[in-house]
């Protein structure tokens, strides 16, 4: 269609070499076609041309000194994509694969995800190609301090509020926050994902994983089904995967896998969360290999033994799948395998983990499919709850925050499914989430004039 083709060809020309960004844009635009047919105001106000162009993209040099005294250089990014409905909000990713296209795809997704939460937050994202693996604590600290020395002038508690993502957890947020305070002298909620004694929110650490499971629960309930008794495959073994596994266990399901960039574990009787958490806290690269040494009935498969072009996590027989590692980790062949094995639900903890072909296969099969921007929105929603607590100088209980998270996830489900129904495709939550998220942002853009 011309809306998609024209927009893609324009962004390919103006932003060459950013395939993940084009992928994210194409998926959203495909879903928006029925809305554009129904309501002309979005074309009249040229919303698409405006929304695919970030309000601001900041790139900067991050110079830091390693433990040997050598000067190292990385690249830092912050995309401030849309402030139509609130201050820019989104995580920071530290991973060697980070480049402008990755940051822009994540920032673009964040616009609609944040809108879906029903909270007043705009879309942003940032990060660096810095690789935290194998770095000492002091190296991480020096890197974070240098990163913030550039970033601090662009952020603020009502301007742009970064948080964590891959490679950025409580430790990194601490070093970033310390440096922000040193530079500005201001104790404000400028970052979320802070530790509890210095402004963090209870349940933020758990929120993305818990939220994905709450979302799955809403999906299953819509078909008079439940999590209890189901077998689940989970990929990743970081923040999102661990708290997905924890909540699945609490709700009576059996998560049987986890993975990292070196390999995966299949533990048919169920992942032992204590072992996994203890090994991950030790921070060794070999934690999943160690897991299989401790639990003899678990099988570890290294990446070098994966069949070409496949992620064998998705070949494990299961009822439910929670991709919780990274983008494009589940392709069409993987999707077909999941469907062949009787998987009835996919809830994406990661951002854009399924390739477009895999997404189409899920939609065609009419299984319960929760796209990342809906299913993993619990993390950013709880970040906004952290901002609210910071602004009012209060701290809510775990139960209070968790209860709000659960409601927010159910409301996201309702908003996506009711919108999907409105457009005559009740099972299609990709369409529902994209239209519901877009409509609010686009209407705000129209109200605010040509800015």
Ligand X SMILES: O=C(O)CCC(=O)C(=O)O
Catalytic residue IDs: 125
* In the complex, least distance from residue 109 CB atom to ligand NAI, rounded to whole angstroms: 9
Q: Give the H/E segment covering residue 90.
A: strand 88-94
189 to 208: interface string for ligand X, x by CB under 6 A: ---x----------------
Q: Are strands 257-260 and 263-266 parallel, antiparallel or unpaired?
A: antiparallel
Report DSSP letters for 57-115, one per residue.
EEEEEEEEE-TTS-EEEEEEEEEEEE-SSSSEEEEEEE-TT--HHHHHHHHHHHHHHHH
Q: Tell which one of 117, 351, 389, 428 touches ligand NAI (CB under 6 A).
A: 351
Radius of gyration of the chain, Cα coordinates, nearest whole angstrom:
21
Residue 89 binds which entry of ligand X, ligand NAI, none, CB below 5-8 Å type-dependent: ligand X
Q: Give the binding range for ligand NAI (CB under 6 A) out of 14-22, 72-80, 138-146, 253-261.
A: 253-261
Q: Is position 324 an interface residue for ligand NAI (rule: CB under 6 A)?
A: yes
Q: Are 88 and 414 in contact (CB under 8 A)?
A: no
Q: Is position 325 an interface residue for ligand NAI (rule: CB under 6 A)?
A: yes
Q: Are 87 and 122 in contact (CB under 8 A)?
A: yes
Q: Give the binding range for ligand NAI (CB under 6 A) out of 40-48, 259-267, 356-364, 442-450.
A: 259-267
* In the complex, least distance from residue 93 CB atom to ligand X, rounded to whole angstroms: 8
* In the complex, least distance from residue 416 CB atom to ligand X, rounded to whole angstroms: 16
Residue 90 binds which entry of ligand NAI, ligand X, none, CB below 5-8 Å type-dependent: ligand X
173 to 212: interface string for ligand NAI, x by CB under 6 A: -----------------------------------x----
Instruction: Tokens for 109, please give them.
Output: 């997704």
The residues, ordered by sequence, that sit 6+ positions from 80 with a Cβ below 8 Å of its Cβ are: 54, 55, 56, 57, 58, 88, 107, 122, 124, 154, 160
Count the neighbouring beta carbons within 10 Å of the beta carbon of residue 384: 23
Q: Is position 355 an interface residue for ligand NAI (rule: CB under 6 A)?
A: no
* In the complex, least distance from residue 293 CB atom to ligand X, rounded to whole angstroms: 33
Residue 201 binds which entry of ligand NAI, ligand X, none, CB below 5-8 Å type-dependent: none
β-bridge mates for residue 302, sequence order: 263
Which residue has the CB atom at the shortest distance from ligand NAI? Answer: 238
* In the complex, least distance from residue 236 CB atom to ligand X, rounded to whole angstroms: 13
Is 133 marked as a binding-site residue? no
Q: Are 329 and 400 in contact (CB under 8 A)?
A: no
Q: Tell which one of 123, 124, 126, 349 touches ligand NAI (CB under 6 A).
A: 349
Cα–Cα distances (Å) from 377 to 40, 44, 193, 324, 416, in that order, read: 29, 30, 14, 13, 12
Distance CA 96, CA 62 (A): 14
Q: Is position 313 an interface residue for ligand NAI (rule: CB under 6 A)?
A: no
Closest CA to 271 of 239, 243, 303: 243
Half-sphere exposure of 178 (CA within 13 A, CB side): 13
47 to 86: interface string for ligand X, x by CB under 6 A: ----------------------------------------
Distance CA 91, CA 82 (A): 14
Q: Is position 354 an interface residue for ligand NAI (rule: CB under 6 A)?
A: no
Q: Tell which one of 52, 163, 245, 435 touches ligand X (CB under 6 A).
A: 163
> DSSP code of 149?
H
Distance CA 446, CA 48 (A): 12
Cα–Cα distances (Å) from 252 to 196, 213, 228, 401, 445, in that order, read: 29, 11, 4, 22, 44
Q: Which is nearer to ligand NAI, 166 or 433 (CB)?
A: 166
Q: Which residues are annotated as a binding site?
A: 89, 110, 113, 164, 208, 239, 383
The binding site for ligand NAI (CB under 6 A) comprises: 164-167, 208, 236-241, 259-261, 324-326, 349-351, 376, 379
Q: Which residues are annotated as a binding site for substrate?
A: 89, 110, 113, 164, 383
């Amino acid at each position: 269609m011309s809306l998609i083709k024209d927009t893609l060809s324009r962004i390919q020309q103006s932003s060459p070499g950013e395939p993940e960004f084009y992928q994210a844009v194409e998926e959203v635009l495909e879903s928006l076609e029925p809305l554009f047919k129904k309501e002309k105001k979005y074309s009249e106000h040229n919303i698409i041309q405006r929304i695919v162009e970030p309000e601001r993209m900041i790139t900067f040099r991050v110079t830091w000194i390693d433990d040997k005294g050598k000067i190292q250089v990385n690249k830092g990014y912050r995309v401030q994509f849309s402030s139509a409905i609130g201050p820019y909000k989104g995580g920071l990713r530290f991973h060697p694969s980070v480049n402008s296209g990755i940051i822009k795809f994540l920032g673009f997704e964040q616009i609609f995800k944040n809108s879906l939460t029903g909270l007043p937050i705009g879309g942003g994202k940032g990060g660096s190609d810095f690789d935290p693996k194998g770095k000492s604590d002091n190296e991480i600290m020096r890197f974070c301090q240098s990163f913030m020395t550039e970033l601090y002038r662009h952020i603020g508690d009502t301007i742009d509020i970064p948080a964590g993502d891959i490679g950025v957890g409580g430790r990194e947020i601490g070093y970033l926050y310390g440096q922000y305070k040193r530079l500005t002298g201001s104790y404000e909620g400028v970052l979320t994902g802070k530790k509890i004694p210095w402004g963090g929110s209870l349940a933020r650490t758990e929120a993305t994983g818990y939220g994905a499971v709450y979302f799955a629960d809403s999906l299953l309930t819509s078909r008079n089904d439940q999590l209890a008794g189901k077998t689940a495959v989970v990929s990743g073994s970081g923040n999102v995967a661990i708290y997905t596994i924890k909540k699945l266990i609490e709700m009576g399901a059996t998560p049987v896998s986890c993975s990292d960039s070196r390999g995966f574990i299949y533990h048919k009787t169920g992942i032992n969360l204590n072992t996994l958490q203890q090994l991950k806290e030790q921070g060794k690269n070999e934690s999943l290999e160690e897991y299989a040494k401790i639990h003899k009935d678990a099988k570890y498969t290294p990446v070098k033994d994966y069949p070409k072009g496949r992620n064998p996590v998705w070949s494990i027989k299961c009822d439910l799948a929670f991709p919780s590692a990274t983008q494009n980790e589940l392709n069409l062949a993987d999707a077909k395998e999941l469907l062949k094995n009787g998987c009835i639900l996919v809830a994406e903890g990661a951002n854009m983990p399924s390739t477009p072909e895999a997404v189409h296969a899920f939609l065609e099969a009419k299984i319960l499919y929760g796209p990342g921007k809906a299913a993993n929105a619990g993390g950013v929603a709880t970040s906004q709850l952290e901002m609210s607590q910071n602004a009012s100088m209060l701290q809510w209980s775990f139960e209070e925050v968790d209860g709000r998270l659960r409601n927010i996830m159910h409301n996201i489900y309702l908003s996506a499914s009711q919108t999907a129904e409105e457009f005559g495709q009740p099972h299609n939550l990709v369409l529902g989430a994209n239209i519901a998220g877009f409509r609010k942002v686009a209407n705000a853009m129209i109200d605010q004039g040509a800015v």
